[in-house]
C-alpha cells in the first residue's frame, strides 16, 4: 500500500459546555429548531452530570492508547459536535493518510446508527482531492475482549451487593432504543443486541430468569420505539417483589448523558420509589479490555487491506 495508513474512531459527540447545547441539538435534529422547553430540560440534565459531555475526552484517550498498541496513527471524529468527522477526515488527508480503518464506538449495527456514521464518513470523503481506501467496521458486538470487559465490570458491580443476596440480583442489560419501524425493514439491531446479552449472561453464568434485556432513552416522537423501556421494567420488577437490580448498558461503551443521567439519576429515582436497590457497572470507557478489542479489530482489518492491496498489485 502506498500512502499512510491510520484508524478513525467515530463517536456521537456531545456539548463541551451548557452554552453549546442549543447548537448541539440543532445539529442532532438536522437543522430543525429545538423547542425551548426541550433545550431547558436537556440543559438541566447536563448540568446535573457536570455541565458537559465526557465523550470526546474518553474517545481521545482511547485513540491515544490504541495508537500505541497498533503502531498506527488513530484519529477521533464526532458525528454531531466538534471535531466533526468531515474536519477530521480532511486533516487525515492533509497528513497523507490514504488507507483508513473506520470503527464506530458502538458495537451493534443499525442503519439508523452505524449507517448514519457511514453516510457521514462518505460525505466527508466525497469532496477530497485524493482517494482514500476505507475499511468500515459495521459491528463488533460479539468481540471477545469487549464481552470480557463488560462481564468483568458486571462482576465487580455485583460484589457491591451483600454477599448473601448476590445470587438473587436481577441483571438488566440495556441499549439505546430506536424507532420500532426499523424491524419492518429487517434491521438487525435488536437481534444483535439480544445475542450480546445472551453471550454475556453465559459468561456470567446467569440462570434463566435472572437476567433480561430492554431499551432505554427513547425519544418522545409520538411514534413507537423499541421496547420494553427500562422505566417500565424497573417498575414491574418492583411490583414483583425484586429488591436488587443491576442495570448494565451494553449498547454504550462510554460515559455520557444517557448513562450518567438517564440511568444514574432518572432510573435510579424510579428504583428507589419501587423499593429497589439499583447498581450500575462502570462503562468500558478507555479501559484495557476496550483497547484490546479495538486493537484486535483494527489489526484484522489492516491485515486484510494489506493482503487485498498485495493481490491487486500482483494482477
| DSSP 8-class letter at 137 | E
Q: Can you give the pTM of this predicted structure?
A: 0.95
Residues 268 and 304 in one domain: no
Q: Are residues 249 and 300 in the same domain?
A: no
Alpha carbons 190 and 205: distance in angstroms, whole number: 22
Q: Domain count of the chain? A: 2
Identify the CATH number of the domain in which residue 167 sits. Answer: 3.40.50.1400
pLDDT of residue 49: 98
Note whether 120 and 67 are same-domain residues: yes
Rounded (10°) angle between helices 55-70 and 288-314: 50
Instruction: With a cut of 50, list the residues of the chain below it in pLDDT.
Output: 315
Query: What is the greatest pairwise CA distance in the chain?
Result: 68
Specify whether 159 is located in the same domain as 254. Answer: yes
Question: Phi and psi (nearest 5°) for 217?
Answer: 60, 35
pLDDT in tens, 46-66: 999 999 999 999 999 999 999
Q: What pLDDT, in 10s, does the model give residues 119-140?
A: 999 999 999 999 999 999 999 9
Is 45 among the domain residues?
A: no
Let me know whether 128 and 164 are in one domain: no
Whole-number pLDDT of residue 265: 98
133 and 148 fall within a common domain: no
| Closest by CA position to 61, among listed 282, 294, 250 | 294
Same domain for 162 and 245: yes
Which pLDDT belongs to residue 313?
Answer: 54
Same domain, 110 and 157: no
Contact status, residue 187 vs residue 110, Cβ threshold 8 Å? yes
Q: Are 66 and 74 in contact (CB under 8 A)?
A: yes
The verdict on 263 and 153 lying in the same domain is yes
Ramachandran category for residue 218: left, alpha or beta (phi over 0 → left; psi -120 to 50 → alpha): beta
pLDDT of residue 48: 98
What local confidence, expressed as pLDDT, does residue 282 receive?
A: 98
Domain coverage including residue 79: 4-16+53-139+287-314
Task: Kindly state the percentage of the chain with pLDDT values over 90.
Answer: 94
Is 200 part of any domain?
yes
* Residue 29 resides in a domain: no
Amino acid at each position: 500500500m502506498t500512502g499512510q495508513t491510520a484508524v478513525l474512531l467515530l463517536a456521537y459527540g456531545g456539548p463541551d459546555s451548557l452554552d453549546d447545547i442549543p447548537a448541539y441539538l440543532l445539529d442532532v435534529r438536522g437543522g430543525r429548531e429545538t423547542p425551548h422547553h426541550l433545550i431547558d430540560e436537556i440543559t438541566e440534565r447536563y448540568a446535573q452530570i457536570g455541565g458537559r459531555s465526557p465523550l470526546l475526552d474518553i474517545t481521545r484517550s482511547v485513540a491515544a492508547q490504541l495508537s500505541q498498541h497498533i503502531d498506527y496513527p488513530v484519529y477521533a471524529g464526532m458525528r454531531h459536535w466538534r471535531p466533526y468527522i468531515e474536519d477530521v477526515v480532511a486533516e487525515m488527508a492533509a497528513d497523507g493518510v490514504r488507507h483508513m480503518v473506520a470503527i464506530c464506538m458502538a458495537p451493534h449495527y443499525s442503519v439508523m446508527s452505524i449507517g448514519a456514521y457511514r453516510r457521514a464518513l462518505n460525505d466527508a470523503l466525497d469532496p477530497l482531492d485524493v482517494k482514500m481506501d476505507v475499511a468500515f467496521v459495521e459491528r463488533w458486538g460479539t468481540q471477545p475482549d469487549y464481552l470480557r470487559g463488560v462481564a468483568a465490570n458486571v462482576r465487580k458491580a455485583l460484589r457491591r451487593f451483600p454477599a448473601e443476596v448476590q445470587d438473587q440480583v436481577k441483571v438488566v442489560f440495556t441499549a439505546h432504543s430506536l424507532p420500532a419501524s426499523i424491524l419492518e425493514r429487517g434491521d438487525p439491531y435488536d437481534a444483535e443486541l439480544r445475542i450480546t446479552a445472551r453471550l454475556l449472561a453465559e459468561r456470567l453464568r446467569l440462570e434463566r430468569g435472572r437476567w433480561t434485556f430492554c431499551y432505554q432513552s427513547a425519544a418522545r416522537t409520538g411514534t413507537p420505539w423499541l421496547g420494553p423501556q427500562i422505566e417500565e421494567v424497573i417498575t414491574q420488577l418492583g411490583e414483583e417483589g425484586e429488591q436488587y437490580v443491576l442495570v448494565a448498558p451494553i449498547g454504550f461503551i462510554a460515559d455520557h448523558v444517557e448513562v450518567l443521567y438517564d440511568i444514574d439519576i432518572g432510573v435510579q429515582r424510579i428504583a428507589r420509589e419501587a423499593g429497589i436497590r439499583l447498581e450500575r457497572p462502570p462503562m468500558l470507557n478507555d479501559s484495557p479490555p476496550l483497547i484490546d478489542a479495538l486493537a484486535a479489530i483494527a489489526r484484522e482489518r489492516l491485515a486484510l487491506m494489506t493482503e487485498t492491496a498485495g493481490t491487486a498489485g500482483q494482477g
